[in-house]
Amino acid sequence: MLDFWKIFQDPNTQWILMGCMLLGLSSGVIGSFAYLRKQSLMGDALSHAALPGVCIVFMLTGSKSVLLFLVGAAAAGLLATFAIGFITRQSRIKQDSALAIILTVFFGVGIVLLTQIQHSGSGNQSGLDKFLFGQAASMIHSDVITMAIISILLIGACTLLFKEFKLISFDPGFARGLGFPVTVLEQFIMFLIVVAVVVGLQAVGVVLMAALLITPAVSARYWTEKLNVMVVLSGIFGALSGLIGTLISASGSNLPTGPFIVLSATAIFAISLLCAPRRGILSKVFLRISVRNNVRREDTAFPSLQEGSNL
């Protein structure tokens, strides 16, 4: 306990802790709608697609500005969403195949550009490889402020458009019949996912960001049947993952923050899978045992019925 108290007293750790919790909170909220719309791979595709945007911005400006990196990553992510939509609308290729195509193509281009930068004169000092797995320790006060503002905007947008997002997530045909701009709303959800992914690149990285989007939402789904409760739980689970992962990372030396955040989210999922009251494995096992015991008691109490059924 004393070690954790010392960790909380470190100003740098406080900023990192705040940033990772805000990242988990916003990712969990917007990830709920991605999960419900069966777009679990969307976060993976967009996070991988952001890498070439980061590399191109560095090649054009030669600057290591996090804000410029975020702009480049957002532009690449939006381009990826339009490419996915174009492929699915103009061909017979389904969305999962389009996601796989865009993910591999954009990430391949990003790796080529990253290799080219690292072999150039300033490549060794660029630090762009940190975007693959994240480097939360490099976050400063301004980065956390940026995360806070973007998290508030993401959560505010999901709150204001909750009914619309709920409708297009469960029945887009009905929403279109009511006159809702379904295509615009779907693209706006994609844009929010892009923003969440881009913000998380510095802390969690390209490879692991998809897990932080989807895992809290899947965990929350085990605990409730109501969408509003699920969204709130998903945000709480995401923030808790950021808290636990950061504390574990700060408790030792050379422990990466991003992977521990994802592992914390996975641990919460495992607990949900086992212990959720209605959907959990243990709950189903206990229910089966209870039903079996009730049947045995009924057979014992009314043996004549059992004999008559055998006859």
Q: Is the pLDDT of residue 184 over 90?
A: no
Residue 198 contacts by C-beta under 8 Å, 6 or more apart in sequence? Answer: 50, 70, 73, 74, 77
pLDDT of residue 1: 46
| CATH code that applies to domain 10-207 | 1.10.3470.10
Give CA separation, 51 vs 41, 93, 167, 171, in Å. Answer: 16, 25, 33, 34
Q: How confident is the model at residue 8 (pLDDT cuts 50, 70, 90)?
A: low
Cα(205)–Cα(207) distance, integer angstroms: 6
CB atoms within 10 A of CB 277: 10
Q: Is 165 within 8 Å of 219 (Cβ atoms)? A: no
Q: Which two three-digit tokens encode residue 115?
A: 């290799």
Domain boundaries defined on the chain: 10-207
Whats the size of the chain, residue-wise?
311
User: Would you state the pLDDT for residue 231?
Assistant: 93
Q: Identify the weakest region by mean pLDDT among 116-120, 189-193, 264-268, 273-277.
A: 116-120
Burial 150-164 (b: 16+ CB within 10 A, else e): bbeebbebbeebeeb
Alpha-carbon distance 51 to 124, whole Å? 17
Q: How far apart, in whole angstroms, are the C-alpha atoms of residue 264 and residue 238?
A: 9
d(CA 18, CA 242): 9
Question: CB neighbours (10 Å) of residue 71?
Answer: 15
Cα 7 off chain centre by: 26
Tell me what the pLDDT averaged over the chain comes to. 81
- Measure the CA–CA gap between 212 and 227, rounded to whole angstroms: 19
pLDDT(256) > 80: no
- 15 pLDDT tier (thresholds 50, 70, 90): confident
Query: What is the distance between the alpha carbons of residues 282 and 251, in angstroms, rounded to a whole number?
Result: 33
Confidence of residue 239 (pLDDT cuts 50, 70, 90): very high
Residue 274's pLDDT band (boundaries 50, 70, 90)?
A: very high
Cβ–Cβ under 8 Å, residues 59 and 117: yes
User: What pTM does this model have?
Assistant: 0.82
Closest CA to 128 of 205, 194, 19: 205
Scan for tokens 């991988």, then name that residue. Answer: 48
The average pLDDT across 28-41 equals 84
Q: Cβ atoms within 10 A of the Cβ of 4, count? A: 11
Q: Taking the chain, what is the end-to-end CA distance rounded to the nearest angstrom? A: 68
